[in-house]
Structure 1
């Protein structure tokens, strides 16, 4: 037995060494990619600025060319007032402006192509950085587990308390990833969208002086779409990780969630609290928040409810969360069937989260009489903050 443990230890030690080396290489790849991203963003800014100047110059040359054509027509028709030299000068000027216009139009087309290429490369590099960071995060999780003492594996797996800790660690890892994605979206796409809005406003001011009404309308519509996308991204950021959860706690965050749910869905809601809130580890509060979120999502998507109530009851060693709706309901005896088949009610995911918290899930529903979802989560001393 001891020999087997030593062999396994040796294999795991080698695996840890390889992963540590891989982690360093991934970090170097990330740093290189970030450097490339900075360079691409600087070049893109230059191209965008040059493109704006070129568009302005093309507009000016088009106006000059129209005036030159009008002038050429005038001098060509009036042989009394204008001499042959005047006609020649007007023709040469119109020709020169036409040549300049062709050159700047080609330059504009090139800059637009270059801009599109740079934007595509920027997106690819950002995706590469995101994938590399995700892999590094996964390697860290694996390293953390592999670095444990193998002699304790049997006792760890047999210990219910450690099983709970492992479950909380998994949830914590998921929540940390959500926070990272939220930061990435805020610092990346959200900033890019804000920049696009600014540039469309500049383009709108340049075009508004011309007769390009259709182009102007298209830009205005684009600006509205971008602003809508920006608002949606900010909502995604909140859904990924409500900042109030860490700062204010579970109860205030759920109050806000219920209010936002009512404003968004027009489904009437009610929040009732019994007892005094007990702060728990961040991972536990996040898991409970997700359970409530899932129950409300089910009430919205499947129950066709017009009223949803959230009840929270704190006891010294237990917190009970109950979500009731007045929707269409379903047959309670089919709950297990739905859970085992991972149906649209999301019961499997809810049960898994509750099991990780060593809690209990009860669902009571009847056709035409709504649904009641109740979570009971134990609060031990080790789970209090």
Structure 2
């Protein structure tokens, strides 16, 4: 029962507060409504009177402009009283003393423009039409009424986006129209001049052509209450516009009595203050709780994001350093490969010069001797020289075949790695004096072309390193395959690799110097998505290469 009373008590308080507020509002509206109706009726009547006055002023001003234009047309029509030059000077004075006028045109009865004058200058007969197009003066006659009364034409747009209308005054002589005087008038500028005296009355004014607003008095406020807006038809010779007038907020505030608002304020003040106090108290409490919760969540997210950014930054720094080391290693490897290529070319050239070229020279000498012996009919010596030449030719052939096989053995393409390795190991042992032990898995079969070439080059480089650096008297080569990979091991029993070279050979990010041969082997293996491992100790070095099958570059 205690919790039920606690729940009912706030409900009663809310009902009591609502009753107080409702009674105050009822009394306030009872006093406010009659006063408000009277004030609005008085304001509407005042607005209507102002609208009617504005309408009459605009009509009067337009008639005055038409009358002045009629007088000017009559003056021009009398050719004996004025020259064309005087007419144009008079036209410019007319434009300067009439606000909103943009230009005048003098036309004959056939609607042909005889000359025109604008505020920017004047144009006589023969001036290019483009000068008149700029102010939309061409075509005014098309809108002129064919009767003998001055008229206002419908509005039309100007090139700069403004709106204008034409005042057309016919000059009648002998019962017919002799000339037309057409004035181009800027709607906004003309109405600003006509309504200049009404700008400070505290009312907003707009003029509409159909449903389009063509003018709004400067300083006018938006229409906030349609019931306070008065409008009427502004009938001019030839056109009919609509004029709308409504009071500005300051006029409404000055015309309204403070008694209705005072009654409303006094009636609902206590209830409003009480309800607002309760509402804002609860809102402040809820906002404070939500703000604290949002603050805690934001701090937690900031901590998490900071940790993530620190981790990402560490990874990025490591990647940048790794990329820089790889680029440096690639540049170093490229340079060393070029130097090695030059050295290999010099070696081949030296071998060809010292061996093959000398044999070919001796063969050329023997051929010359053979020719002389043929002429001398010395068959015994000729046979000996030819036999010697045949032996030299055989040695040259063998030398060229050896160099060619070392560069790229054709047996590798024809028979495969299984048959080329025994031949190459035997040749290496014969040339270097290092005993080679070869262990090839039975029925090894053919491997992908790129894998066979890569493994052959690795064996070449490994045996060359054994011969140049290890000091080992023996070397063992083991080649085998599984279902998805091929494994090559080359093991010697020499002095092992120095510590710095071993680190560079096993770690791509190391900065220690490394031979171009090891770097080249590692690059070949990387291109085939394999791995190369080098293990070195005091009594020998083992190079192990694993290539996945099915990868052909």
Structure 1 or 2, whichever has the larger Rg, is: 2
Higher helix share: 1
TM-score by length of 1: 0.41
* Bigger relative contact order (CA 8 A; separation at least 6): 1
TM-score by length of 2: 0.30
